[in-house]
Amino acid sequence: MNTVLASCAVTEAVSRGRRFSEPPPAGRGEFQRDRDRIVHSTAFRRLEYKTQVFINHEGDLFRTRLTHSLEVAQLSRSMARALALNEDLAEAVALAHDLGHTPFGHAGQDTLNECMRHDGGFEHNLQSLRIVELLEERYAAFDGLNLCFETREGILKHCSLANARLLGEVGQRFLEGTQPSLEAQLVNLADEIAYNNHDVDDGLRAGLISLEQLESVAIFARCRREVEAKWPALQGRRLVHETVRRMIDIMAGELVAQTRANLAASGVKTLADVHRAPVLAAYPDALRPQLRELKTFLYDNLYHHAQVMQTIDQARRIVADLFGAYLAEPAQLPPEYQRRAQDGKARAIADYIAGMTDRYAVKEHQRLCAGGEFL
Ligand code: MG
């Protein structure tokens, strides 16, 4: 951790603190305490068995939500350090950013959102906040983890105006059109850097995309040429890794440099200035079309690969079937969710399903939905 932070960094001195006041932590800072609470939460442990792109049981070497979150935390810390921002806050936000993800990745979230269309919808980002504010049951004095305002603000990357009105202080910025801390802005982009790169790596490993196809992606081709110029005989895993690590270096390095330049040009001095300024964490203009090209490539060739789509169809069926089964028979929910269902059946079911790991959802599907032989 930097000993001297930039004047616009989040510090404990300017923090809006916790909802329920607690004695200060001994031997660690408030944002380190937030990080520790996240790491010890149940939702965090479940990330190990939740899909990133590949369904959890498809292979032991692919990223899961847990390893993705760790990569986002690593990138966030490095970039926060380079800009003299609060690394501990960036790490806490990064580790928590995907806590609300359903089983089976985006397919699960989209299906749950459809199931909830008459009951307020379902959005994984909002669910991450709901977990740390309400659903984790660990402390005697409060629901959730009682995290600092800035950590919760960072977790809520986006949200509809309708939802923002219901969220109180963390929703305020969406109504006012102001920005979150620079630390939160960085984590948002670290997420993107992590998945764009690890999905290339995982996609190649799975054999769903090829090095030949990636020649059409300028940033990949450029980095590969650099590797081959230095190591002409390099092949296989090492060639892929040397190429991907160069792409990560370019993205993170140029993001830091551009953000530093934006900060200098903006005249931003304090955290209050950061809130009022336009978004300051950004890639240089020249890099953006290259990143768009990479994203489009992954979208067309990996996320929509026939083999991925097939498991997505099954995942959708599982989530929709489970939702229907609990709705028809709430007594199948565990007791704590039956209690929650008294305040809103659909929301309690969504909370329960969203918390499931991939394999638990498959098991419940087999138990509750006859003939459920999926995945
Ligand atoms: Mg993510």
Reported as a single tens digit per residue, the pLDDT across 116-142 is: 999 999 999 999 999 999 999 999 999
Q: Which residue type is seen at 256?
A: V
Ligand 1 centroid–CA 352 distance in Å is 21
- Ranges of residues in the chain whose predicted pLDDT is under 70: 1-2, 54-60, 371-375
Ligand 1 centroid–CA 66 distance in Å is 10
What is the reported pLDDT for 159? 87
Ligand 1 centroid–CA 267 distance in Å is 31
What is the reported pLDDT for 349? 98
Ligand 1 centroid–CA 360 distance in Å is 21
Ligand 1 centroid–CA 258 distance in Å is 22
Ligand 1 centroid–CA 96 distance in Å is 9
Ligand 1 centroid–CA 212 distance in Å is 27
pTM of structure: 0.95
**What are the structural domains, with CATH classification, of the chain?**
30-307 (1.10.3210.10), 308-368 (no CATH)
Ligand 1 centroid–CA 69 distance in Å is 6
What is the reported pLDDT for 51? 82
Ligand 1 centroid–CA 48 distance in Å is 13
Ligand 1 centroid–CA 195 distance in Å is 7
